[in-house]
Structures are given as C-alpha cells and as structure tokens.
Amino acid sequence: MSVVEMKNPVSDAQQIAADLMRKARVAQQSFANADQARVDEAVRAVAWSLYKPEHAKALAELAVQDTGLGNVPDKIIKKQRKTFGALRDLMRVKTVGEIERDEKKGIVKFAKPLGVVGAITPSTNPGATPVNKALLAIKGRNAVIVAPSPLGYRTTEMVVNYMRDALGQIGLPKDLVQILPSPVTKETTQAIMEAVDLVVVTGSQDNVRRAYRSGTPAIGVGAGNVPVIIDETADLDSAAQKICASKIFDNATSCSSENSVVIVDAVYDKAIAALKKAGGYLANAQQKKKIESELWKNGKLNRHLIARDMSVLVKGFELPADVTASKFIMVEETGIGPQYPLSGEKLALVLTIYRTPDFKAAKETIRKILDFQGKGHSMGLHTKNMDRARELAEELPVVRVLVNFAHTFGNGGGFDSGLEFTLTMGCGSWQKNSISENLNYKNFLNITHLVVPIPEDKPSEEELFGPHWTKYGR
C-alpha cells in the first residue's frame, strides 16, 4: 500500500466545508475591527433585507409552496415581527469595545467576535430563522454559514441572497453570510458543524445531538410541548381569545404554540364555551379516535396533516364539512404519556384539553405532561392570582412561565414581553441544552475581562464558619 493510499482522503463534505470556511474567515477578519456604528449599519441592512415587504411576501409564498407548512399571511407577519423586534433589541446594546464596567469589583468587560458561526435551521421557519441568527452573529462581528433543512432550501437560499446583496450594497463582504450548497446532506451539515467556531441549532433533535457531539461549542434547543392552565380566577374570554390567536398562528408551526390546556373544574364548562366562541370545535369521542389515528402514523406525526389549514384537517380527520369554519380542534384527554399521543406536541391545529379538580391538581397535570415531553421549554397560566404564577415558576422544570399571554407571541419575544426576540429558545439541562434563556446577542460574543486591584475583600473566619461552629462545633 502506498503512502498516498494510507492517508485519509478529504471527503467531498469536508472540502465543501473548507471552501466555505476559507471565504468566511476572509470576510470575518475584514469585519472584526469594525466600530459599533458600522456593525449597526450592517445589522440594519440585513434586517431590512427580510423586513422589506416584497421580500417577506416572496419568501412566505415560496416557503409554503415548498414545505406545505404554515400559511402565507402569518409567515409574512412572523418574518417582519421577529425581525423588527430583534432589530429593536440589537440597536439598544453595545457589542464593540467596552460593554460593561463594575468599579466596585474593578472589572471592565470588552466584547470580541467568536469567528464563524454555523447556523442549522429548520423547515418550519426557512426564512425567518436564518435571518434571526445572522443578525445576532453579525452584531458580534462574526460571519455565518447557514445549513438549512433540505425541505426549505429554496427559501433559505433566497433569503441568504437577500442578505448578501444587502451587505454588498453597504460595502461589506457578501461572504459574511453563506449557505451550504444543495443538496444538503447529513455529511455536509456535520462537516460544517466540525469546522466552525460555534454551532447554533434550531430544528431536529438529531441535529442538536450531532452538534453537541461535533467537538465544536454548540447551542441547541429542545422540543416544545407547551401546556397552559386556566384557573378559576381567569378572564375566560380573554384567555380563550389569546389561546386561539396563539394556537392558530402559522398553523401551529411554532414550538411555543399551546399543545394542552388544563382547566380547573370550577370554570371548565364556561372555559370550553369561551374557547368555542373564540373558534374552537370540540371533537366527540369517536372523532377523537380518528384524529389520533390519522395525526400519527407508525408513531410519528403525519407530515401531510401537521401545520395544515383547517380544510385539510377536516378532510383528513373525516369531520363534518361545517367544521372548516372553526379555527382549531379541541380534543378532551385524561391520559399522559406514550400511550396517549395527544398529550405530546402536535404541530397542528389540534388542542388537547384536560379537566382537573383544582389548581393543585392542574399543576401536577402540567408536571406530568412536561415529564413526558417538553420539559425545560415553557408553560403558561391564565389567572388573576400572581402567587400561583410564582409557585409554578419556583416548582416546575421550565425556563419560561408566561402569565396571561398568547403564548406564541410572548415566548420568543414580544413588544409586551421582556424576553428577547428569537426563534431559538434554550431549554436548559432538562433537555441537555447549554443555555436556559432565549438565544441572544451575548451568546455570540467572546468577553475579555480587564481586572485591576480593589480594596481587599476578605471576611474573617468567624463570618464564614461561625454558623457551622455554633451549630456543629469546631
């Protein structure tokens, strides 16, 4: 065997990654010393490339055409709302030079770029997610390489070209934003994960696990399965309207869309009436069986029914034709776990309803739902009793507890929510994620700490050990 034959040849996937990385490195290095004004100019340009009405419309139409997921009007709103909100957040923060000073501790913090970011993006948001990640990356003076879902490739390619043109228009390297060439494969995606300086994954849990195994620092997100409680103090009409608006947005493609509603017995009938008034249709027991058998095939969600219009669901579930006039379908359930798929995430206009005796029982139902699926992600509560909201936040294993929100519009950032605008939400160690917050600009920075001497801060032994000595002796 020759020496040449003994060497491990560079695979096609590795060569593709190397070519992209070479261009990304050149672009990023030329941008690394930009001042804050120039960085913000770039961020604005990239944001406008998606927010621009004709661009948002073209991308929404192509995404629905190619993926069949969601609907055009809501995708336009999503693209513009998320981009506008993210731009608001980013224009209010510094990411160049000194970004924080603590005189008492004698520490000054300076922001530095990470380098090249690998952005793995899903088919559910093939236009909005790449731009959101690119905005965060560029705010940190990084370059980004997007590895999209094959199903949404044409949409992602279009939006990447919009971003590249926007950067070129203001005299910056277009290669600050690149896309993995088609066809995207597991091998090319893996090669990019291994080559970049940070991987940020939104989408399949398989990609999240691959990212964490890549040897590159990685930020991944967990699966959603948002449950919400309606208690006896809630404004029922308001709660129902918010749940409906959130559930039906973009045909429930969002991981923040409500999947289960747990209603206390005292207001159960009135809450169901309010949900019906808001647009819900309550399926009967026979219809429930059909919904369950059609929405899952061989243990997996049926791609022909998820994120589809009501007309498609009515036909697929063999419901009466007049149900098409409803906005979503409600199915009553008592069980939780693998034998009860309706207790999990549905990505469809189907909402599971649970009835519980009181708030205490509702909390435990939520806990069981999260233990089955969605732990770490988020939950909601409709109430006038803020003590209950605090109780849930103290006790349940979720990163976010939203009170009196249309969940989809508050969880990933909102103009009446203090959470950062994002399409990537960390779920903490509960889902083996490295962050327990909304993905934000800080996740795209290296920080240098300048440290100077301060007056000595050394307590006595008595101050630190005294309570132990008193209770247990020396």
Q: How far is it, in rounded angstroms, from Cα 389 to Cα 403?
A: 7
**Sign for the pseudo-dihedral over CA of 449, 116, 36, 413:** negative
Task: Enumerate the H helices of 12-127 as residue ranges.
Answer: 12-31, 36-51, 53-67, 72-91
Q: Look at residues 466, 438, 226, 432 and name the one whose alpha carbon lies nearest to residue 347.
A: 226
Question: In sequence order, which residues have a C-beta less than 8 Å from that of residue 161 and are 6 or more positions away?
Answer: none
Beta strands in 74-224 (DSSP E): 97-102, 107-113, 116-120, 143-147, 177-179, 198-201, 218-220
Whether residue 183 has a cis bond before it, omega within 30° of 0: yes
Task: Map tokens 């506008």 to a residue.
Answer: 84
From the list 166, 184, 252, 255, the catalytic residue is 255
Question: In sequence order, which residues have a C-beta less than 8 Å from that of residue 172 and are 6 or more positions away?
Answer: 31, 42, 45
Q: How far is it, in rounded angstroms, from Cα 128 to Cα 407?
A: 19
Question: In sequence order, which residues have a C-beta less than 8 Å from that of residue 286 and are 6 or more positions away?
Answer: none
| C-alpha distances out from residue 164 to 17, 145, 217, 349, 460, Å | 19, 12, 26, 36, 60
| C-alpha distances out from residue 165 to 8, 121, 158, 162, 171, Å | 38, 20, 11, 5, 10
Residue 255 annotated in active site: yes
**Is the distance from CB of 375 to CB of 430 less than 8 angstroms?**
yes
Tokens found for residue 210: 């691959």
**Is the distance from CB of 379 to CB of 398 less than 8 angstroms?**
yes
Q: How far is it, in rounded angstroms, from Cα 299 to Cα 171?
A: 51
The DSSP string of 8-45 is -PPPHHHHHHHHHHHHHHHHHHHHTT--HHHHHHHHHH
Q: How far is it, in rounded angstroms, from Cα 364 to Cα 383?
A: 17
Element (H, E) at 133: helix 128-139
Tokens found for residue 399: 């990163």
Give the residue numbers annotated as catalytic, written as ranges.
Answer: 255
